[in-house]
Amino acid sequence: MSDTTEHETVAGPQTEPDARPDARPDARPDTRPDARPDARPDARPDARPDTAEEGLEAAAAGTGAPRAQERVIDLTAEPAMRLERDALGPLAIPADATFGIHTARAVSALAISTTRLADYPDLVSALGAVKQAAARANLDAGVLTAPMAKAIDDAARLLTDDAPEVRPSLIADPLAGGGSIGVHMNVNEVIANLANRELGHPFGAYQPIHPKQHVSASQSTADVCHTASRLAVVAGIELLERVVADLIDSLRDRARAFASLTTLARTCLQDALPAPADLLFAGAASALSRRLDAIAHTASPLAGVVLGGTVVGTGDGAPERYRERVVPHLCEITGRNLFLHADRASALQHSDDLVAVSGELVAIATVTTKLAQDLRLLTSGPTGGFGEVILPHVIEGSSFFGDKRNPAVAESMIAAGLQVLGHDASVRGAAMQAELHLNVFDHVAVVNTLDALSLLTEAVERFNHGCVMGIELDEARLTELVAQHRSAGQEQAP
C-alpha cells in the first residue's frame, strides 16, 4: 500500500514554506515578492500537520461530503499544500513540489550542512542513470509493466540530463546521516512524482507509481548510492585530468621559453650553483605527468559497480534477470565500460577505493602547492627578496601599500592544497568508521572526495590561466645573481 493514503489539496498561492531547522512550527510560508525562491519547506514532524488536517475535516463537514481523493478548500491566505502520510503521521508538503514526505522529514531532521543534492550535478546525473538502468532491468525481469518502466525511465532521464526543472526539489543534504537514505528517497520521490505526472496523476498521489515499490524496485540505498557515487567521482577525475594536462602544457611551454637562461640554483635555501632556468618548470611538468598516470590507474577500479547487490552485496530482493541486465543497461546509458564488482559485499563494507583516489588528489595538490610556493619565493621583493620571477598582476596587493604586488593566485593554489588535505582526512576517517557489513559513512567519503575534486580542479585551472601561463623571468636579475655567485668564488669545488 502507498505511504500516502489520500491526496488532499488546499488552494492558494503555491509558495514553498520555510524548512529551516529553527523555523517556528506555526510559521507560515514567506509569500513576500522578495522571498527567496529556493526556500525549503518547514518539514519538521511538529509542523502542524494535524491542524491542517483538522481544517480540512471541519470544512468537509460544513460543505457536505466531498470526494476523499479531491477535497479542495479555497483559503487564499494559505499556500497550496498537499498532505502526505508515513509511519510518523501526516505532513503538509507544497502542492507543486516534486519531493515528498520522506525528503521533507530528512531535511528537517537531518540537514547538517548548507549543501543540497542539487549542488552535486555529477552525482545527480549518476543517480538518474542508475534509476534509468534499474527501470529497464525491472522491465526485463517482469517487475514493472512497460508503461510504468517508460514513465520512470523518462523521469529519471531528467536527472541524468541535469534538467533545470528538477534542481529545486533535490534538497536532501548529502552529508546527512542514515546511510544516504535521504538522498535516495529524495530521488525516488522526485522521479515518482514526475512519472505520475506523465501518466496523468497529481503530485503526491504516488499512484500508479510509488517511490519505494516501483522507482526503487530491486534496489537498496546501499547499491544505488555506492554505484552512483563512483560514477560521479570518475566524472570529476576526468575533468581534473584535463585541467592538469593543460597545466602541464603551460609548464612545458614556459620551460622551453626559459631553456636558454641561467639562474642560481639553491639547496636548503642557500646558494648552490648556476643551473638552467627551465629546471623548476620542466620538473613540475614531469611530476604532474606522473600523477596523471597514477590517478588514472587508481580510478580504473571505480568502473566496477555493485548495482544488483542490494543491501549487503548478496543480491537479496533483486530477481536474477534484473541482476543480469542492470549493469549492461547502465553501460548503455552512461557510455562507459562498466563491470560488475568482483566482490560486492567487500565493496559495500570498505571505502578503500575512495581513500586511494583521495590520496592521489593529495599527491597532485602537493606538486601544485610546491610549485606555487616556489613561485612565491622567486617573485619576492622587489628589493628585499629573490626578485627573479615576474607573475601576472591580477589584483591590487594591499589596502595600505598602493603599488604592492602579491602572488595572490599562487597563494590561492596553496590554500586549495591545504583544503584537499582536510578533505583527505575526512575520507580516511569515514572509511575507518565502517562497521560490520556496510559502511554507512561512505557518503562522507564521497562528499569529501567530490569536494576535493571540485576545489582542486578550479584551483589548478585558475593557477594555470591566472599565473603560470603569464610567468616571465627577470633576465637582468638572473645575470646579476649568477655573476655575483661566480665573483664570490662559490663555484662547485673541484
Which residues does the annotation mark as catalytic?
398
Q: Which of 165, 135, 169 is closest to 152 using CA atoms?
A: 135
Q: How do beta strands 339-340 and 389-390 pair?
A: unpaired
How far is it, in rounded angstroms, from Cα 327 to Cα 133? Answer: 7
Spatial contact of 247 and 288, defined as CB atoms under 8 Å apart: yes
Cα separation values, 411 from 237, 316, 383, 395, Å:
23, 52, 21, 13
- The closest of 230, 218, 238, 234 to 127, measured between CA atoms, is 230
Nearest Cα to 223, choosing from 308, 336, 140, 154?
A: 308
Q: How far is CA 23 from the centre of its chain?
A: 27
Q: Are strands 89-94 and 81-86 parallel, antiparallel or unpaired?
A: antiparallel
Residue 443 and residue 431: Cα distance in Å, rounded? 10
- Which cell is 167 given? 534542481
| Contacting residues for 120 by C-beta, under 8 A, at least 6 apart | 174, 232, 447, 450
